[in-house]
Structure 1
Amino acid sequence: MDSLDSKKKKCLIIHGFGGGLHEVKPLAEYLTGLGYDVVCPILKGHSATREDMRKATYKDWIDSAEHEFLKLKEKGGEIVLIGFSMGGLIAFNLACKHDIKAIVTINTPIFYWNINRVLLNLLDDLKSKRYNHIKRYLQAKNNSPFLAMLQFLLLLHQTKPKLEKIYCPILTIQAEDDDTVKRKSVDYIHKHVSSDRKNIRYIDNGGHLILLSSMAGRVLLCVEDFLLEQ
């Protein structure tokens, strides 16, 4: 084992439901530039066809992330888990099985679909005639077969009781205008994890795909500061 590899700080960044590496690419590139050893697993079913997505189970998603985690662990040293959206739920599952340095979640759902925000976004589309939000909602629907949605619900249901087993430091980041994740998800996570070092950072806008928004820089700095404290 290369001693330099074992000393290098490591991050496993996990993308969200129905998404892919593009959701977390800005963060991965930023941390790599800071000298971190960064790995971004592709969750099973998320890299090919809608049929592949339909066939994958939530356990497959966890296994996909765990496989890359174990490969990263072989290099030695401590690992920070960073989960975007559903990736945060997967990070919690890994943290219950393995020794983790810390966890960062970004727009991770416990309570989902902020209907008021969705309606405001639709109204904004009609006023602006750009229809960006409508296009995103249709794309999300296309990427999310019904059986895959059931698997997401199963993952959420079995993850919530595990939060009390999280003892490592945790940073929870939430966009206040997120239409997919309700703000009270942060309160639930903060209340139920057992860590005595837990921080919340709210970003006033940026939406659910905040790492692809104009507010991404603020998120990157929040993550960097948190990692430097560990």
Structure 2
Amino acid sequence: MMKEKTIMGVVKLKLDKIKKSTTINPLGREIKYGFNNQEESTAVLLLHGFGGKSSNWNYIAKKIYQELDLPVYVPRLPGHATNRSDFLNSSAEQWLRKSVDSYFYLKSDYQNIYLAGLSMGGLLAALVASNFEVKKLSLVAPAFYTINKNIAFAPYLKYFVKKLDNDFQINQADLSAEEIDYHNNYSFNYYPKALAELYKLIKKGRKAVPKIKSPTQLILSSNDKQVATDQIKDFLNKKMGQFLVDQKIYQKSPHVIINDLEKERCAIDIINFFSK
């Protein structure tokens, strides 16, 4: 079987495969609120998901800052909100490294870190919390298990198939130029190479869960078509025990709970959890 070139087990970054015209979509620029207050001892780190963007968190990030007066940071994970070539040259190791560096960035100035992650961001948040001191952890639709079990074959399929159509559709009349550009690069296809990197994090995240000792909130939706809500709920209850202190199951939201039908409720639940 063919093998990708690696450095100490990490997929090698091939700069010549990334378009020279690559820029960051405004929807994916990092978000910062409230960093003018140097006396605050607590900061909030929010991590977006696979193929997602920082602006998915913008509504809730702003609400957290307004309601709790805490600084909030939403980083952009490597390969996200740029283009397809950049995405396919990013990796699980890069996404995790950026998450850890973002934690270090905040921890250098703030004693307490509240951490939340959506989907793959939930996996990254779990990995950070399992290794470093996190005061509170909120997992929103964390991708420990997916509805489509074929992701387990992505590490093998990537050698034979570059992309698969996922039947995604948009109404361009309702979208901005930035939104259309984002969807053109990330929404219309599955890329086995990228999914194989996600699957690495799924496996790492599952192993990390029993090591989490932070009070943890879990937010899921029964209408989620991407992650296996019941399986995730059972898994975390079994592995986390007393540290899983708050659980919410929504009924209407699709996968991106933080920026959809029940984003207001999600903001309230996260704010209430962080403020306890």
Establish whether TM, by shorter chain, passes 0.5. yes
The equivalent position to 1:28 in structure 2, one of 49, 58, 61, is 61
User: 2:137 & 2:245 partners in 1: Cα distance?
Assistant: 10
After TM superposition, what 4+ stretches of structure 1 lie above 4 angstroms from structure 2? Answer: 136-141
* 1:96-125 deviation line (CA, Å, top 9, x unaligned): 22111010011112221369xxxxxxxxxx
Partner letter of residue 259 of structure 2? L
2:121 counterpart residue number: 87
In structure 2, C-alpha distance between the alignment counterparts of 1:192 and 1:9, rounded to whole Å: 28
Distance 1:196 1:111, change over 3 A: closer
Partner of 2:204: 158
Query: What is the TM-score of this pair, normalised by structure 2?
Result: 0.70
Counterpart pick for 1:16 among 46, 49, 65: 49
Deviation at 1:50, TM superposition (A): 1.0
Report how far residue 152 of structure 1 moved.
Answer: 0.3
Moved more, 43-52 or 12-21: 43-52
Residue of structure 1 in register with 2:249 after alignment:
202
For the 8 Å contact 2:84–2:186, the answer to whether it is kept is: no
Counterpart in 2 of 1:110?
A: 144
Q: Is the 8 A contact 2:44 2:71 kept in 1?
A: yes
Unmatched runs of 5 consecutive residues or more in structure 1: 116-132
> Sequence identity of aligned pairs in percent?
21
In the TM superposition, residue 142 of structure 1 has moved relative to its aligned partner by 3.7
Q: How do residues 38-187 of structure 1 correspond to structure 2 at under 5 angstroms?
A: 38-113=72-147, 134-135=168-169, 141-142=187-188, 144-184=190-230, 185-187=232-234
Counterpart residue identity of residue 252, structure 2: N
Task: Please say if residues 57 and 148 of structure 1, whose CA atoms lie closer than 8 Å, have aligned partners that are also in contact.
Answer: yes
> 2:168, 2:188 within 8 Å by CA — same for their partners in 1?
no
Contact 1:42 1:65 in 2 (8 A): no
Partners of 1:114 and 1:146 in 2: CA distance: 13
Q: Which amino acid aligns with 1:161?
A: K
Give the residue type in structure 2 aligned to 1:93. L
Cα distance change of structure 1 residues 16 and 143 upon mapping to structure 2, 3 Å threshold = farther
- Give structure 2 stretches of 5+ with no counterpart: 1-34, 150-166, 171-182
TM-score between both structures, scaled by the size of structure 1: 0.84
Higher fraction of helix: 1
Aligned residue number for residue 124 of structure 1: none
Alpha-carbon deviation of 1:141? 4.8
Q: Distance in 2 between matches of 1:77 and 1:23?
A: 26
